[in-house]
């Protein structure tokens, strides 16, 4: 299998660090780290599954939003 070359502009990463805090009514805490290409976003936080879902969806939309509309397709 040949190695896949991926342009940096077509790549992104997202890391979710999640934990449950004791003694809190809404115990979920998530720290979100993301990048698209060479742009690294400031870390953000979420405290609900819906907020995490919205962050992932926004990140994927940003990853797909290319000025030249080149589709992002793995080879």
Q: Per residue of the chain (75 residues), what is the pLDDT tens digit?
A: 667 665 545 789 999 999 999 877 789 999 999 999 888 999 999 999 999 999 999 999 998 886 555 555 554
Does residue 69 sit within a domain? Answer: no
Question: What is the number of domains present in the chain?
Answer: 1
> CA dihedral defined by 29, 40, 61, 6, rounded to 10 degrees?
-120
Query: What residues make up the domain containing 48?
Result: 12-64
Does residue 6 sit within a domain? Answer: no
Does residue 51 sit within a domain? Answer: yes
Does residue 2 sit within a domain? Answer: no
Q: What are phi and psi of 49, to 5 degrees?
A: -60, -35
Distances (CA, A) of 48 to 15, 20, 29, 30, 66: 16, 11, 7, 8, 29
Does residue 30 sit within a domain? Answer: yes
Q: What are phi and psi of 28, to 5 degrees?
A: -70, 130
Does residue 3 sit within a domain? Answer: no
């Amino acid at each position: 299998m040949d190695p896949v070359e991926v342009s940096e502009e077509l790549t992104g990463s997202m890391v979710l660090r999640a934990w449950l805090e004791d003694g809190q009514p809404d115990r979920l805490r998530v720290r979100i780290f993301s990048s698209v290409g060479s742009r690294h976003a400031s870390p953000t936080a979420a405290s609900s599954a819906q907020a995490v879902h919205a962050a992932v969806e926004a990140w994927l939309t940003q990853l797909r939003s290319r000025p030249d509309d080149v589709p992002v397709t793995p080879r």
